[in-house]
Structure 1
Amino acid sequence: MAGLEIPAWDPETALLIGTILLEAIVLYVGYGGLERLLGPYLMKILLGGEEHAR
């Protein structure tokens, strides 16, 4: 049956996929932290005034 075989993974491919997944997680967490730290400040600057900084 064509297409139902289990592909053979070589270590380089598994390492590359793991590295890309780890990088995506680090970027997701990093940008989330930056948004929490700088988001209210930037909204205050861009929109002007305290009422929009919530």
Structure 2
Amino acid sequence: MFGIETLGGNTQAAVLIGLVLLEAIVLYVGYGLLESALAKRVTDLIRGL
């Protein structure tokens, strides 16, 4: 998909770990922003306010 299969074994493992870490950071920040933007609305909706 990213062309990392042409790299050597150790380099391929390091790149894959880096990509997974980058994905985790993006998801963490994205869900944090989503939660801060919608948390009050959702809790008010659940409470019926």
Larger helix proportion of the pair: 2
Which has the larger displacement, 26-35 or 9-18?
Answer: 9-18
- Counterparts of 2:29 and 2:47, CA distance in 1: 26
Aligned residues: 41
Match of 2:27 in 1: 27
Deviation at 1:31, TM superposition (A): 0.3
Deviation at 1:11, TM superposition (A): 0.8
Aligned-residue sequence identity (percent) comes to 49
**Which ranges of 4 or more aligned residues in structure 1 deviate by more than 4 Å?**
none
Structure 1: state its 5+ residue gaps.
Answer: 1-8, 50-54
- Counterparts of 2:24 and 2:47, CA distance in 1: 31
State the superposition RMSD in angstroms.
1.2
